[in-house]
Amino acid sequence: MPARGSGAVDLKVGPLHAHDTFSRRGAADIAKTHKEDTLDHTRVIHEGAAMNKIEILTGAGISAESGLGTFRDENGLWAQHRIEDVATPEGFDANPKLVHDFYNMRRAESTKASPNSAHDALAQLQKAFRGEVILVTQNVDDLHERAGAETMHMHGALAGSLCAACGARWPSSLLTQPEDPCPSCARPTTRPDIVWFGEMPYQMDEIYAHLGDCDLFAAIGTSGEVYPAAGFVQHANASGADTIELNLEPSSTVSHFAQTRFGPAAQTVPAWVSELTSG
């Protein structure tokens, strides 16, 4: 089950500098500056330079365009609950029924949503790109999979259940409750297989290994405020990878990216993928 300790999921802005702050009004200027000062990675591909691995991180913004709410939305499921009550181990210990009910509602919401053109484009990129495309998501829905992509869920998945006692995992039913017995140890200690704040994300060694040897790192629909994912761009930069942020608006870590594209993911992602796979 998710471990606690350093490197756990944390909601805060990381080690940025004073010059990293800016207004939304400056997004266009930032994007223009990055594009002028940086060699376009799509042109590098088309001119024959080696591009063997792309690592992509997706966040809530890509699923929001399919109708799924984020915890920053003013309305929706997250607005009705404190994060501490439904997305921490302490919250689960205090009121497991509330947590089960919350994730039952999230599963129901997720099943009604459909992949959008950004999900479809990333699945197509995995199929069409001549190298390797590693897709990592902070999202717990299955929209990437339903679009046909292979995905690493660093924060777990709504489709899974986890035993808080023995660590066994199994596919979740749409409705769960605290009394549900673990199929392995039979104890009534079922919880969602979700990485909560204060717990270690899944597959971090593998994710960091890919960051260490990818040629291009892209962050799509992320806020840059949830760590450790918000720090991935610094790791990619340190390894010499090109970097790009595709977002509705600038993230908290936008200044660390070599290139930026702003707008709805359903528009920017298909256009970007088309550039990567054309020619």
Q: Are residues 44 and 73 both part of a single domain?
A: no
pLDDT tens figures, 165-178:
999 999 999 999 99
**Where do we find the tokens 């899974």?**
160
The beta strand positions in the chain, using DSSP E, are: 10-11, 53-58, 132-137, 152-153, 156-163, 169-171, 190-194, 216-220, 226-227, 242-247, 259-262
- Residue 204's pLDDT band, with cuts at 50, 70 and 90, is very high
User: Would you state the torsion angle of the CA atoms of residues 119, 233, 257, 276, taken in this order, to the nearest 10 degrees?
Assistant: -40
Domain end, chosen from 166, 194, 222, is at: 194
**pLDDT at position 47:** 42
The better pLDDT of the pair 119, 19 is held by 119
- Residue 240's pLDDT band, with cuts at 50, 70 and 90, is very high
Cβ-proximal residues to 167 (8 Å cutoff; 6+ apart), any chain: 1
**Where do we find the tokens 């039979």?**
186
**Residue 240 belongs to domain with CATH number:** 3.40.50.1220
**pLDDT at position 59:** 96
Cβ-proximal residues to 44 (8 Å cutoff; 6+ apart), any chain: 51, 242
Q: Which domain holds residue 167?
A: 69-112+158-194
Report DSSP letters for 235-261, one per residue: HHHHTT-EEEEEESS--TTGGG-SEEE
**pLDDT at position 28:** 35
**Mean pLDDT for the stretch of residues 133-149:** 98
pLDDT tens figures, 251-261:
999 999 999 99
Number of H helices, E strands in the chain: 11, 11
Average pLDDT, the chain: 85
**pLDDT at position 7:** 66
**pLDDT at position 35:** 41
% of the chain surpassing 90 pLDDT: 75
**pLDDT at position 72:** 63
Tell me, yes or no, whether 1 lies in a domain. no
**pLDDT at position 74:** 60
Q: Are residues 207 and 180 both part of a single domain?
A: no
**Mean pLDDT for the stretch of residues 25-51:** 44
Rg (the chain; Cα; Å):
19
The better pLDDT of the pair 43, 137 is held by 137
How many Cα atoms occupy the beta-carbon half-sphere of 269 within 13 Å? 26
Tell me, yes or no, whether 168 lies in a domain. yes
Tell me, yes or no, whether 235 lies in a domain. yes
With a cut of 50, say whether residue 26 has pLDDT above it: no
Active site residue 19: no
Q: Are residues 188 and 212 both part of a single domain?
A: no
**Residue 103 belongs to domain with CATH number:** 3.30.1600.10
**Mean pLDDT for the stretch of residues 184-211:** 97
Question: Among residues 144, 155, 235, 256, which one is catalytic?
Answer: 155
- Residue 77's pLDDT band, with cuts at 50, 70 and 90, is low
* Phi, psi (deg, nearest 5) at residue 58: -115, 150
Round to whole Å and give the CA distance between 46 and 275: 9
**pLDDT at position 69:** 77
Q: Is 237 exposed, middle or buried, given 0-12, 13-18 or 19+ CB atoms closer than 10 A?
A: middle
Q: Are residues 214 and 274 both part of a single domain?
A: yes
Through-space distance between the first and last CA atoms of the chain, rounded to whole angstroms: 45
Provide the whole-model pTM.
0.85
Q: Are residues 278 and 239 both part of a single domain?
A: yes
Q: What is the DSSP letter of 203?
A: T
* Amino acid sitting at position 169: R
Measured CA to CA in angstroms, residue 201 lies from 54, 191, 230, 251, 253 at distances of 21, 16, 13, 21, 20
With a cut of 90, say whether residue 20 has pLDDT above it: no
**pLDDT at position 38:** 41
List, in sequence order, every residue forming a beta bridge with 54; answer none if it has no partner.
133, 216
**pLDDT at position 177:** 96
- Residue 3's pLDDT band, with cuts at 50, 70 and 90, is low
